[in-house]
A and B are shown apart, each in its own frame.
Chain A
Amino acid sequence: MEQEYIILLQKILVVLFSVTLFWKIIKHMCGLLVIEKEPVTVLVTGAAGQIGYALLPMIARGVMLGPDQPVIIHMLDIEPAAEALNGVKMELIDAAFPLLKDVVATTDVVEACQGVNIAVMVGGFPRKEGMERKDVMSKNVSIYKAQASALEQHAAPDCKVLVVANPANTNALILKEFAPSIPEKNITCLTRLDHNRALGQISEKLNVHVSDVWNVIIWGNHSSTQYPDINHATVKTTNGEKSVRDAIANDNWLNTEFITTVQQRGATIIKARKLSSALSAASAACDHIRDWVLGTPKGTWVSMGVYSDGSYGIQPGIMYSFPVTCEKGQWSIVNGLKIDELSREKMDATAKELMDEKTLAYSCLIDD
């Protein structure tokens, strides 16, 4: 009897061992199988333009969402640009991007917005010589009102929106107002370009790598009233981590030339290139989305233009650039940072400009 039990026990052990081994082999093989993620649909408006041309290959190579994230690109532009837009589509096909699962090139805003998970609004009416601010504002208000509707009705739920076209903050505000079913936290504007420019200026001044500088802040409007703030920025030096202000040891430069350089960098680029920034704007747009979706690195924040909730004494109801961290696809304003007197003035000045822009935008709507 005992003999039978021992044999039975042995049989059970053998069976258990085989099953466990078999299971481990199956799991290992499944691990080797690369299961591709579902593609994410990314819309770029104004896609036939300069920024679009720089941005699209970045998206298609995984710079925006990661090297393992397949994408479907929707490109929208206006009718006069239809042939150029098709040329860009042809080039995207010619580049044989492994991550690019489909390209839709269209002048129809409904088709463009269909099923979109991420929308980068680069298209807008550029200011031409002789135009008054009110004229530019008026044209852009109409554009963003129409696109808000289309996005709201046709985009995927939880679509994340980044407005790049200037006036970025106010265009984003209009978009938010006319797409009430898109959560206001999903509508942002680009100040990452200014943030990156500030990092670049500090790294050049200190002769360090730009990846060794972090936690600058861009407050307010993506315009010349923006406030590049280094009071909480850190730099890694050969003697360890220091505050940027201590490392630079030149408050005068930090409070004047540094600020104006960053504020006016756009104009400087135009003067040198005879064209506005495209490469760096596109790159910043990728950084903005990537950090938003995949999260900011620990201990680091970035700057994003977001719907103000009254933090830091800034009026709610405008799109204002704040320091934010991102986790699980959501941004949160970094609270509790000390604001000195100089900073307070500058933060309020840019907020005032945004209030004025909002008033101007609404007056254009009434005139419509």
Chain B
Amino acid sequence: MAKEPVRVLVTGAAGQIGYALVPMIARGVMLGADQPVILHMLDIPPAAETLNGVKMELVDAAFPLLKGVVATTDVVEACTGVNVAVMVGGFPRKEGMERKDVMSKNVSIYKSQASALEQHAAPNCKVLVVANPANTNALILKEFAPSIPAKNITCLTRLDHNRALGQISEKLNVQVSDVKNVIIWGNHSSSQYPDVNHATVMTPSGEKPVRELVKDDAWLNGEFITTVQQRGAAIIKARKLSSALSAASAACDHIRDWVLGTPEGTWVSMGVYSDGSYNAPAGVIYSFPVTCKNGEWTIVQGLAIDEFSRKKLDLTGQELTEEKELAYSCLS
């Protein structure tokens, strides 16, 4: 008996990340191989023809799970009945732009999209903000969609989480699927803190702490952290374009684990509305280690935070508080 289709919205769908993401959604990577989907794709009017081209390609791919495609520049039509919303669209930073200019543009975008989502999305719609500044865009969205439960609004740090897993697996020359429980704390920016203090690797003799196996604290506290923090820039340097494939894949992982649950004994990183856990500032969207069950995320509590980590958690928290102030100043 086929399941009822789930409606998934992708904003900024005519762009690079959208183009990588929509076939993944249509193949069941996001919600499972037996879950039919209806795709809603939104972009701005200048991208309407390109967006239609993407819709045509989705039709041309004859995806068995794809039960419908709505390609539109109308935010109301895009948001109607949506169960999962992936907000990829946003104003990109261009050369010469000040942080405040980018922030200002994105604050306007997320304020109006918040309204539309709140009014037209299905109840219990789950939201993932990808467009940068992801945490603050998500916060604005939350503030202007008060009837969407705060716990339903998240931002993407799974990309950084997966990057951290990748770096550890390369360092130890193990399969990435044997590494787990890294944490990304804080902001999806260069102040993020990739923390391996609770990460483990599956070896032939059982699970071992990453720190013990790597045996190189200098690398773990130095180069490893900066590599993960700056990986986005490294990709841009090599590709002359920002990460799309890995960002899209991480978005699928984020939603899939949220909806279908995290594997036993494993947590993932999600940017979620902070309740002050681990002394992170409350009232910002902050990336924490979470487990997911029955469609809900829960922060993993009680992890020991050493002095080195404490400083880093606070630094990225500080940056988020500043971003929040900047965002609010744009609104006034």
Contacts and interface: CB of A to CB of B under 8 A. Distances in A.
Contact of A97 (B234, B244, B249): B249
Nearest to B175: A101
Contact of A279 (B22, B67, B175, B235): B22
A95 B245 contact: yes
A269 B50 CA distance: 9
A284 interface: yes
B246 interface: yes
A209 interface: yes
A98 B253 CA distance: 11
Contacts, number: 137
* Interface of B: prevailing SS: helix
Interface in A156-188: none
B56 A269 contact: yes
B163 interface: yes
B61 A96 contact: no
A287 B64 CA distance: 11
A54 B61 contact: no
Interface string A242-273: 00000000000000000000000100110111
Interface residues of A, number: 49
Contact of B63 (A56, A101, A265, A283): A283
Contact of B245 (A91, A274, A283): A91
A200 interface: yes
Contacts of B245: 53, 56-57, 88, 91-92, 95
Contact of B248 (A57, A200, A277): A57
Given A54-B23, A57-B248, A274-B50, 12 more contacts: A56-B245, A57-B20, A57-B245, A86-B238, A87-B239, A93-B176, A95-B249, A96-B162, A98-B176, A265-B56, A273-B57, A278-B57
Interface of B: 19-20, 22-24, 27, 29, 33, 49-50, 52-54, 56-64, 66-67, 159, 162-163, 165-166, 169-170, 175-177, 231, 234-235, 237-240, 243-246, 248-250, 253
25 contacts: A53-B20, A54-B23, A56-B245, A58-B27, A61-B249, A84-B240, A88-B239, A93-B169, A95-B246, A96-B162, A97-B176, A98-B176, A193-B60, A200-B61, A210-B59, A210-B63, A210-B64, A210-B66, A211-B62, A265-B60, A269-B56, A272-B53, A279-B58, A280-B57, A283-B63
Interface of A: 53-54, 56-58, 61, 63, 67, 83-84, 86-88, 90-98, 100-101, 193, 196-197, 199-200, 203-204, 209-211, 265, 268-269, 271-274, 277-280, 282-284, 287
